[in-house]
Amino acid sequence: MADKYVPTREDRFSFGIWTVGWQGTDVFGGPVRPPMAADRAVRKLAELGAYGVNFHDNDVFDFDDAATERDAKITAFKKALEETGTVVTTATTNLFGHPMFKDGAFTANEREVRRFALAKVMRNLDLAAELGARTYVFWGGREGAESGAAKDVRAALDRYAEGLNTLSQYVLDQGYQIRFAVEPKPNEPRGDILLPTVGHALAFINSLEHPEMVGVNPEVGHEEMAGVNYAHGIAQALWHGKLFHIDLNGQHGPRYDQDLRFGAGNARGAFWVVDTLLAGGYDGPVHFDFKPPRTEDDDGVWESAKACMTNYLILRDKVRAFRADPEVVAALAASRAGELAQPTLASGETWRDVRETTVDADALGARGLGYERLDQLALEHLYGTR
Amino acid sequence: MADKYVPTREDRFSFGIWTVGWQGTDVFGGPVRPPMAADRAVRKLAELGAYGVNFHDNDVFDFDDAATERDAKITAFKKALEETGTVVTTATTNLFGHPMFKDGAFTANEREVRRFALAKVMRNLDLAAELGARTYVFWGGREGAESGAAKDVRAALDRYAEGLNTLSQYVLDQGYQIRFAVEPKPNEPRGDILLPTVGHALAFINSLEHPEMVGVNPEVGHEEMAGVNYAHGIAQALWHGKLFHIDLNGQHGPRYDQDLRFGAGNARGAFWVVDTLLAGGYDGPVHFDFKPPRTEDDDGVWESAKACMTNYLILRDKVRAFRADPEVVAALAASRAGELAQPTLASGETWRDVRETTVDADALGARGLGYERLDQLALEHLYGTR
Amino acid sequence: MADKYVPTREDRFSFGIWTVGWQGTDVFGGPVRPPMAADRAVRKLAELGAYGVNFHDNDVFDFDDAATERDAKITAFKKALEETGTVVTTATTNLFGHPMFKDGAFTANEREVRRFALAKVMRNLDLAAELGARTYVFWGGREGAESGAAKDVRAALDRYAEGLNTLSQYVLDQGYQIRFAVEPKPNEPRGDILLPTVGHALAFINSLEHPEMVGVNPEVGHEEMAGVNYAHGIAQALWHGKLFHIDLNGQHGPRYDQDLRFGAGNARGAFWVVDTLLAGGYDGPVHFDFKPPRTEDDDGVWESAKACMTNYLILRDKVRAFRADPEVVAALAASRAGELAQPTLASGETWRDVRETTVDADALGARGLGYERLDQLALEHLYGTR
Amino acid sequence: MADKYVPTREDRFSFGIWTVGWQGTDVFGGPVRPPMAADRAVRKLAELGAYGVNFHDNDVFDFDDAATERDAKITAFKKALEETGTVVTTATTNLFGHPMFKDGAFTANEREVRRFALAKVMRNLDLAAELGARTYVFWGGREGAESGAAKDVRAALDRYAEGLNTLSQYVLDQGYQIRFAVEPKPNEPRGDILLPTVGHALAFINSLEHPEMVGVNPEVGHEEMAGVNYAHGIAQALWHGKLFHIDLNGQHGPRYDQDLRFGAGNARGAFWVVDTLLAGGYDGPVHFDFKPPRTEDDDGVWESAKACMTNYLILRDKVRAFRADPEVVAALAASRAGELAQPTLASGETWRDVRETTVDADALGARGLGYERLDQLALEHLYGTR
């Protein structure tokens, strides 16, 4: 198995620095692992087969670092990137950790916070551009509210749009080759977060000044926290031409944000995620945003990181085998799955040509669609028994 | 109390014919109430103070009715509308009840089903236009899947768009004064329904040929089934100028679709729903889409219908009192809620003016926002103790 | 594959007559399949490899059937059982379909309903005993409420207990070799159902007059609708010696009751369910309680029924391979999983022996548990890649 | 209003020291408020009207405190208790914050952790007894697992029982007047927590050596995270005589643990909680376990604490008014709510007396139960409009 599922640079796997670097602090307990310098994360991830990384500014240096400290840490980070040939595919800003962001950043009621947030992003956009990142993620984890009067949602959306518009202009004016990707989440750490699902984010993007610069970065767990189908979500994003990035991980439905390694959580869902990415021609980084559980030491951190990639490779194999299986092809035909690609109106037809359509309703009602057969074939491919 | 919370035509309350007409059939048991003719529903609703109704074609006549039977039922329906002065605000098509729609209508794999679905809608659009409906709702309850390979989601969205585009053209060509409203729902009766939330529907609409003709019809329960905040959802729809219609009812979070009367379910949520509608200047019908529980006889049906309106009127009163309360005004100011309406950049400013912003992060971090005080005021208005 | 995963009588697979017999009626649409006589269900299930069946009284005959009609149907049912050698492992009563049960049966506010419910159960207990059933299931689907004042929960529990106590006495007095199994469910069709989880049912049983006669019948989907871990639930039931029966199927977390075939839904969860059953020495029937989706015709019904058994056999194989895998054994040891079987106090120790325990807290805090490694091994067994 | 809803000692309100002392650390950000010494919490809570407190050992002193530091802090705590006349109603142990407890305490795979956990509890039981606490809470927040093989659930339940049995013996041997209360939670911080609901805990207690010493401490939010009805849960606990303590707060259904102030979250649910407590004669402390949101400064902390009590008093008033309202009494009679208190079998009857019961099923099926009327009356009492 080792040979077959060992990641290569061509697989374009990437990780957030904060994933393997998570120390395990949660609401009920403190850190269980020591801090990890960004450069160590880079070296270890490269060793495991990742080709790229994503970082928040404060994954590399601390919020309060003096300039020299900051620069030293960035230098070490760059050195590790260079020495390992690791690509910075993506970057993002920590606009949620510091207490000043407790009410959000772009949509904080306090204008001073909003202005500083823009400055903080611009500074990290410079670093991102310097490091060659092509995608810049916006996860608005603190943009939201626990109670109704606290946040005027329409005003907040105005400010959210203003923030992204300003930053789009910054990128254009600087000539950076960077696109934005909005990452939706329904709740946690806020009671309700603005742009809670991939749908809300896609709709919002259409109202921006530079919609062409902005797409989405859907995360498996975030969509599953809302009980919606992640594969359907990325399919709709692809349909809109807006799947700029993905965050793969695992989750068990509506509950706290689990950030399990990819493959854990909804195993059948993961199969369809990979199928959707392959079918949709997604060519961005295959990015993992997970948290090694608090039960793990340093070894466990790397076990879980490696497993994200292994599981993707296994599922990719299975998906290809599924689509190539003649029994599947036959079952898809029996389910008339391909017929859906055929327009409802023939070329040249208008509503006039269907206005008087009649059917044998009873016959259509009695016809089965054979989806159980089809789904069982998929499950047996997942099991590896066919 | 009676005088204060008695609905009038000016309140613009409307109901689906199918709400009070629901016989109580569910997966586990058959009907508990006799069928209700549409004209009876109209007369009783008018008597209770509703000014309008919404109907599916098959609320008025049966799928299999012969032309004479169909016409007789429509005539009785019209007569009741005329005699009571009831407005048909909205209409819609039953594309989910007949077995032929078991795999959807506009996105059924079978092209024949899709063609017939378009015809069925057009026929009812004619009736809707004749009866003066200005909004036509699309709830795609069967547009979805229980399993991954059964439905090519991107192809399905192509067909969904094709369907709405064709029907938009029909309305334009007929010169009907009708707008469309898409009603999202995450699941039930399908495992996963396409366009699962108000966000997904808003995004989809932007890709249609006539986006200006199409808005959304969010339902309280459908959004709460996904654990997302309904008031936030309609606020975003208003922000996009797309809140064409609303479906008010009640639900207890992620579980089966409960369709409780408005006011039941999430009581605090209902307060913010009314607040959002008033603040956002929503001027469509205040529409209720609920199901009188199976425990109710005919009296209970009307009790629950009446209570939907009573509760809206009570909440409207409370919301107005909340917004007028000087303590609330002061608490909002203390929470800098109004500051969010102030653009982050001053007039004429660009990113250059904020690029170098610095702040006293500790001071900002230490400042409280006073949301608990504000929310408690709202709760006490809900309780009626202030 | 065919040879390996073909069910035999020794596998003790059983089905509810109502599973394959479900016609597809739901809240939004009518039947999509014709009624299926119980004897046909028996013959087809036997053909597929099932050894047993479970039935509600009204799966075999209708509520309103006259005695002759009832008897004819029972006779046909018995004939099919005999001719196929199918065992009736289990029986139950339909106390939810008829409108008279809209407020429950044993806990209906109306005493007359409660008395009739007892009679209905006794009559079917006679049939169950005659047919050799050893387990009798109580699913109280309508025992619950949508609103707070409607149901005095403590009084309802009194009545629920009275009902089961009376029926226990009936079974004892008749000398039937029958045990009871309570099947919990959190909601649907009622807003909140009494005894919502396996835990609530286990607690309740302890307060009955004959707790030794009553256990639980947990259903995968019902527990997952509450977001709790089904494998944990049946492990606790086994710990209490109360896992009298199981209902295997599939579900995607908190939403409407999906009743997917076993294997669909939470695929990883299903692996641990089988592991828990094998480890716990469960020796009752391996029972499936699912609903073939509405998209299926008769062929699809049997595909899905067969797949329930196939998936169990596949998972059983995988679980055995997992437990036998030396790498798993080593990983379990590294995780100190076996240490948990070792009592915290050594034989003869009391609290006095641990009262002054001190530890190297930092060293213990730093030690990892290796669960990611272990879980990845399990996942690769599920995938069939090891 | 001030006079009416000001708490007094007779109201028996109590708070966890950790509630107002929460500094706001979560997975995504650090503390927003400075540490609060336990004695300050006591003084402020007393000032607001609380009569009692609950504490974890490490609310009063730190895990790593040297003996002198520990003693100084305990002395300050005692002084504040004495000076304010505050009662320590309840105590508990922090078995979740330190990294050594990352895999649980009583059910940690590592025996050394389990032994130390027992010692840590015993030490705090001594302090609890000295301070006069009558209830000792066990919230097993880290007793659980994220993955299937990590935890042998049946062995874990053995150890859990062993732990509680050992500690029961300790309490008995020391002659402490202390009872235990197990606090269930479905998940967070572990993927799945053992004893996930009030039902599971009640069942477990029955298998202990001293079940009479152990009851439950259900928390509003924890039960609502599983989508089950909290009022029903405490009603069942009361029915079993096991409601030893309560944790009141607020939550919006299945999502992360919100710990909102009591009254926020499910407002209608809170009404029925108070109704159930009053009807069931609960006479323990009315305890609040909430977290002031991260948006609040010190003022906001006390606003939210005070509001918990205000809301309870308001709801208590409303519940009493509801139960005294003649229209409610009439509606309850119409709903035959009282009939449920009447045994199904008359005194002296056995199953023989109901075996042949027949009914007019159609008539019973057609009868409505009037629950909508009843529930609307309750809602109007909640609104304060009647």
For chain B, first and last CA: distance in Å? Answer: 17
| Contact criterion met (CB below 8 Å) for C14 and C52 | yes
Please check the confidence at residue A259 and state whether its pLDDT lies above 60. yes
**Residue A256: which of D142, D187, D253 has the nearest Cβ?**
D187
For chain D, first and last CA: distance in Å? Answer: 17
Q: How many B/D residue pairs have CB atoms within 8 Å?
A: 144
Please check the confidence at residue A96 and state whether its pLDDT lies above 60. yes
> Which residues have CB under 8 Å from B23's CB, separation 6+?
B31, B32, B33, B34, B35, B36
What is the distance between the alpha carbons of residues C203 and C297, in angstroms, rounded to a whole number? 41
Cβ within 8 Å, pair C189-B294: yes
Residues of D whose CB is below 8 A from B368? 295-300
* Chain D residue with minimum CA distance to A192: D252
C-alpha closest to that of B316 among B357, B273, B345, B287: B273
Please check the confidence at residue A1 and state whether its pLDDT lies above 80. no
Cβ within 8 Å, pair D100-C200: no
Three-state SS annotation for chain B? CCCCCCCCHHHCEEEEHHHHCCCCCECCECCCCCCCCHHHHHHHHHHHCCCEEEEEHHHHCCCCCCHHHHHHHHHHHHHHHHHHCCEEEEEECCCCCCHHHCCCCCCCCCHHHHHHHHHHHHHHHHHHHHCCCCEEEEECCCCEECCCCCCCHHHHHHHHHHHHHHHHHHHHHHCCCCEEEEECCCCCCCCEECCCCHHHHHHHHCCCCCHHHEEECCEHHHHHHCCCCHHHHHHHHHHCCCECCCEECECCCCCCCCCECECECCHHHHHHHHHHHHHCCCCCCEEECCCCCCCCCHHHHHHHHHHHHHHHHHHHHHHHHHHHCHHHHHHHHHCCCHHHHCCCCCCCCCHHHCCCCCCCHHHHHHCCCCHHHHHHHHHHHHHCCC
Query: Catalytic residue among B39, B56, B57, B289, which?
Result: B56
What is the distance between the alpha carbons of residues C295 and C304, in angstroms, rounded to a whole number? 12
What is the distance between the alpha carbons of residues A275 and A222, in angstroms, rounded to a whole number? 19
Per-residue model confidence (pLDDT) at position A268: 98
> Which residues have CB under 8 Å from A208's CB, separation 6+?
A161, A164, A165, A168, A214
D370 vs A: CB within 8 A: no
Structure tokens at D130: 């000295």
Per-residue model confidence (pLDDT) at position B247: 98
C325 is catalytic: no
Q: How far is A86 from chain D (nearest CA, A)?
A: 26
A232 vs C: CB within 8 A: no
B63 vs C: CB within 8 A: no
Per-residue model confidence (pLDDT) at position A3: 72
Please check the confidence at residue C1 and state whether its pLDDT lies above 90. no
B243: left (phi over 0), alpha (psi -120 to 50) or beta: beta
Per-residue model confidence (pLDDT) at position C4: 86
Span C73-100, pLDDT tens digits: 999 999 999 999 999 999 999 999 999 9
What is the distance between the alpha carbons of residues D282 and D245, in angstroms, rounded to a whole number? 9
Please check the confidence at residue B3 and state whether its pLDDT lies above 80. no
Over range C191-209, report the average pLDDT: 98
Virtual CA dihedral for C71, C73, C76, C78, nearest 10 degrees? -70
Span A40-49, pLDDT tens digits: 999 999 999 9
C147 vs D: CB within 8 A: yes
Over range B181-192, report the average pLDDT: 98
Chains that touch C (3 or more CB pairs under 8 A): A, B, D
Structure tokens at C130: 């005659």
Please check the confidence at residue A307 and state whether its pLDDT lies above 70. yes
What 3-state class would DSSP assign to A57? helix
Please check the confidence at residue B2 and state whether its pLDDT lies above 60. no
C-alpha closest to that of A157 among D290, B372, B241: B241
What percentage of residues in chain C have a pLDDT greater than 90?
99
C-alpha closest to that of C198 among A381, D202, B40, D255: D202
Cβ within 8 Å, pair D376-B292: no
Q: With bands split at pLDDT 50, 70 and 90, how would you rate the model's confidence at A197?
A: very high
The residue whose two tokens read 């391996």 is: C286
* Chain B residue with minimum CA distance to A349: B166
A68 vs B: CB within 8 A: no
φ, ψ of residue B317 to 5 degrees: the values are: -60, -45
| Contact criterion met (CB below 8 Å) for A52 and A88 | yes
Percentage helix, strand, coil for chain C under 3-state DSSP, each rounded to 5: 50, 10, 40
Please check the confidence at residue C160 and state whether its pLDDT lies above 80. yes
Cβ within 8 Å, pair A386-C295: no
Query: Catalytic residue among D56, D245, D287, D381, which?
Result: D56
The number of angstroms, rounded, from the C-alpha of A293 to the middle of its chain's C-alpha atoms is 19
What is the distance between the alpha carbons of residues B301 and A38, in angstroms, rounded to a whole number? 64
Span A350-366, pLDDT tens digits: 999 999 999 999 999 99
C-alpha closest to that of B57 among B2, B151, B133, B111: B133
What is the distance between the alpha carbons of residues A157 and A205, in angstroms, rounded to a whole number? 11
- Please, where are the H alpha helices in chain A? 17-20, 38-48, 57-60, 67-84, 111-130, 153-174, 198-205, 220-225, 230-239, 267-279, 298-324, 326-334, 361-366, 371-383
What is the distance between the alpha carbons of residues C116 and D360, in angstroms, rounded to a whole number? 10
Count of CA atoms in the C-beta half-sphere (13 A) of A357:
23
Cβ within 8 Å, pair B280-A154: yes
C-alpha closest to that of B255 among C186, A221, C259, A199: C186
**C13-16 and C192-193 as β-strands: parallel, antiparallel, unpaired?**
unpaired
A163 vs B: CB within 8 A: yes
Chains that touch A (3 or more CB pairs under 8 A): B, C, D
Residues with pLDDT less than 50, chain D: 1
Cβ within 8 Å, pair A307-C372: yes
Q: How far is C122 from chain D (nearest CA, A)?
A: 7
What percentage of residues in chain C have a pLDDT greater than 70?
99
Per-residue model confidence (pLDDT) at position C230: 98
Per-residue model confidence (pLDDT) at position C275: 98
D169 vs C: CB within 8 A: yes
What is the distance between the alpha carbons of residues A33 and A13, in angstroms, rounded to a whole number? 24
> Can the peptide bond before residue B189 be classed as cis, meaning omega within 30 degrees of 0?
yes
* Residue B209 CB-density burial (10 A; 0-12 exposed, 13-18 middle, 19+ buried): middle
Per-residue model confidence (pLDDT) at position B1: 46
Span B42-94, pLDDT tens digits: 999 999 999 999 999 999 999 999 999 999 999 999 999 999 999 999 999 99
Please check the confidence at residue B25 and state whether its pLDDT lies above 80. yes
Query: Catalytic residue among D39, D59, D247, D259, which?
Result: D59
D96 vs A: CB within 8 A: yes
Per-residue model confidence (pLDDT) at position A334: 98
Q: With bands split at pLDDT 50, 70 and 90, how would you rate the model's confidence at B4?
A: confident
**A13-16 and A286-288 as β-strands: parallel, antiparallel, unpaired?**
parallel
B257 vs C: CB within 8 A: yes
* Chain D residue with minimum CA distance to A26: D27
Q: Considering the entire predicted model, what is its pTM? A: 0.98
**A144-145 and A192-193 as β-strands: parallel, antiparallel, unpaired?**
antiparallel
C219 vs B: CB within 8 A: no
Cβ within 8 Å, pair B192-A232: yes
Over range A58-76, report the average pLDDT: 96
The beta strands (E) that lie in D111-191 are given as 135-139, 144-145, 179-183
C-alpha closest to that of B20 among B46, C29, B184, D364: B46
Q: How many A/B residue pairs have CB atoms within 8 Å?
A: 352
Per-residue model confidence (pLDDT) at position D4: 86
C59 is catalytic: yes
* Chain B residue with minimum CA distance to D261: B372
| Contact criterion met (CB below 8 Å) for B154 and A280 | yes
Residues of A whose CB is below 8 A from C383? 311, 314, 318, 382-384
* Residue A68 CB-density burial (10 A; 0-12 exposed, 13-18 middle, 19+ buried): exposed
Q: With bands split at pLDDT 50, 70 and 90, how would you rate the model's confidence at C316?
A: very high
Span B208-240, pLDDT tens digits: 999 999 999 999 999 999 999 999 999 999 999
Please check the confidence at residue C305 and state whether its pLDDT lies above 90. yes
Strand partners, C92: C56, C137
Active centre residues of A (catalytic):
56, 59
CA angle A253, A255, A260 (to 5 degrees): 70
| Contact criterion met (CB below 8 Å) for B7 and B313 | yes
Query: Catalytic residue among C57, C59, C259, C289, which?
Result: C59
Span B126-162, pLDDT tens digits: 999 999 999 999 999 999 999 999 999 999 999 999 9
C265 vs A: CB within 8 A: yes
Cβ within 8 Å, pair C314-A382: no
Residues of A whose CB is below 8 A from C254? 227, 253-254
From residue C302, alpha-carbon distances to C8, C88, C246, C296 in Å are 16, 20, 21, 9
Span A102-159, pLDDT tens digits: 999 999 999 999 999 999 999 999 999 999 999 999 999 999 999 999 999 999 999 9
Over range A208-234, report the average pLDDT: 98
B365 vs D: CB within 8 A: yes
Per-residue model confidence (pLDDT) at position A4: 86
What is the distance between the alpha carbons of residues D308 and D325, in angstroms, rounded to a whole number? 26
Per-residue model confidence (pLDDT) at position D79: 98
